Structures are given as structure tokens and as C-alpha cells.
Amino acid sequence: MKNKLFEKYFVFSPYFWLVLFFFIPLAIIFKISISVSEWGMPPYQDIFLFDNGFKINTTFENYVYIFSDYYYIGSFVNSLILALISTFFCLLIGFPLAFYIATSNIRLRNILLVLVVIPFWSSFLLRVYAWKIILQNNGILNVILLNLGIISEPLQLLYNQYAVIMGIVYTYLPLMILPLYGYLNKFDLNLIEASKDLGLNRIKTFFKVILPLSVPGIVAGSLLVFIPVVGEFIIPEMLGGSDRLYYGKILWEEFFVNRNWPGASALAFSGIIILVLPIVIFQLLYSRWSQKNEI
């Protein structure tokens, strides 16, 4: 009896977690986003006033403010584009790697998997900082290229959007490889042989058999990369320049530099809705589709 009760709560524990660390904070953010801002601490007014009787003190002006200024929408669009490009490159590099790992023998496979995970053992900040050292004007890469005589003056490799994309692809690649590996690991290699036997060469076999059967892994890996990259703050801050503003940085500035908590909250809340809603719909449609196709 006691065990049953424990099992019941144990099953629900992820939901407690979700409520505690996602829905409650989200509700607080929403509450702040509809508050009226003022100078003070905290920098917004309460939404329920009891001075002269009960009064609800809310406003949607913060939303009007961020949606009327392209500065905010533009940064969000930039972040979406950045996330799309980064996810694409992660997939391009991650898929062959995951496939190679999944199809190699068990000893090599374990070594390769450890190599994929090893970067996680060191600090994320250190790893991004290391790229700064590699890419800066008198950094390792420029010194090598100069000494080899390939270039005559240092290349500006750092502080632009390309450095940001590179840093993100580097950091998020394991998040693409691991779920892909999880699916490809179960892949029946006889299917590839069967396809070749039936007359399809390697490229056609890839598009007709391997790719369609990898869709669940591709979706899982892509979402795992795409969603956090949209809100990524540290990598654009450290490797990026002023050529492009990203959503994460704007959000941070709005909170901590401009101290416009209601505006920043409106921005954060809109971002979550714009990002999460389509993904939830997509997931629902996708799970229906995959059930129908039994992949």
C-alpha cells in the first residue's frame, strides 16, 4: 500500500518539477509583464491595489511597446535565423558522426561516445573562452596562417555572426549527436543491405531508407539544439560583435541595464509563446504522423 502511494507520487514527480520550475516562474514573469513600471525596488507596481478599495492595476502597454519597436522583433528574428542555421550545421556534422558511431564495433563505439561527451566535463565558459584565444587577431589560427604565408595580415575572425554560429555549433553538437545516436543505434543494418540489393546505390539508399527512418532522431536532436539556441546569451556575448543583436542579449539588457522589468518580462513571455506554441503543435502533429506510419 505504502509502495503504491510512493509509485504514484514518483510517476508524478516530473510534473511537480515542471510546475515548480517552469509554470510558477512563467506565471511570475507574466504577472510582471502586465504590471505598470515605475522607478523603485522592485521596478514595477503591484497588480492588486487595496488603498481605496480593491483595484486591479494591469496594463498591456509593455506588449504594445515591444511589438511596436523593430529593435525587439528584429532581435528575435535574428535569433530564430541563428538557431535555424546552427541546427542545420549541427545536423550536417552530427548525422554522419552519429551514424558512424552507431555502426562501428562496440569497442570503438564506446570510445567515440566518450569523446563526444568529454567536453561536458569542462566548464562551458572556459570552452567558449578558448575559442576567443584561437580566433582573436593575434590568436593561434591567425599566427599559423601568417607564418605559413597564406595571409599577409590577421583575419578578423572574432566578433561577428560567423564566430557566433561556429561557437554554437561547437557547443551544441553533442546535443544533436546523442539523440541521433540513440535512434540510429537501433537501426537494422540489413535494411541498408536490402536497399542496395534491390538496386539502389548509396545516395539513393540514404534518401529512401536511412533518412526516412531517422526522422524521429533528427526531430529530437534538432529541437534539443534549436530551442536553447534561440535564447542563447553567453556565446553571442563572448564571440559576437555589434553586427547583429540577438534576443538573449536584448533580454538581459532590458532586465539589468534598462531595469525595465515589465518590458523585459513581456519580451520573455512573448518569446516563449512564439517559440513553444508552434513546437507543441508540431510535436502533436508529428506524434500522430509517426503513430500512423509506425516509425
Partner 1 sequence: MDKNFLVIENISKSFGDNKVLENINLNISKSEFFGLLGSSGSGKTTLLRILGGFEKPDTGRVILDGTDITNLEPFDRPLNYMFQSYALFPHLNVFNNLAFGIKENFTQKEIEINVRNIAELLSIEDLLNRRIKQLSGGEQQRVALGRCLIKKPKLLLLDEPLAALDKKLRSKTQLELTTLQKKLKITFVFVTHDQEEAMSLSDRMAIMKNGLILECSSPEEIYENPKSLYTANFIGIANIIEIYKKDENFYSDDLGINFKLNKELKNTKTNILLRPEKIKIQSINNLKTSSFNSFSGEILEKSYLGSFTRYEIKIKNMIISVLDQNFNSSSNYNFPKGEKVICSWESESIKVLED
Strand-pairing partners, residue 49, are: 55
Closest of 269, 287, 171, 270 to residue 219, by C-alpha: 287
The minimum distance between CB 96 and partner 1, in angstroms, equals: 20
Taking the least distance from each CB to partner 1, the nearer of 162 and 286 is: 286
> Which are the contacts of 255, defined by CB distance < 8 A and separation ≥ 6?
261, 264
The minimum distance between CB 126 and partner 1, in angstroms, equals: 42
The minimum distance between CB 104 and partner 1, in angstroms, equals: 15
Taking the least distance from each CB to partner 1, the nearer of 71 and 289 is: 289
Taking the least distance from each CB to partner 1, the nearer of 52 and 201 is: 201
- By the criterion CB under 8 A, which residues form the site for partner 1? 188, 190-191, 193-201, 208-209, 212-213, 293-295
Taking the least distance from each CB to partner 1, the nearer of 123 and 293 is: 293
The minimum distance between CB 202 and partner 1, in angstroms, equals: 8
The minimum distance between CB 200 and partner 1, in angstroms, equals: 6
Taking the least distance from each CB to partner 1, the nearer of 42 and 212 is: 212
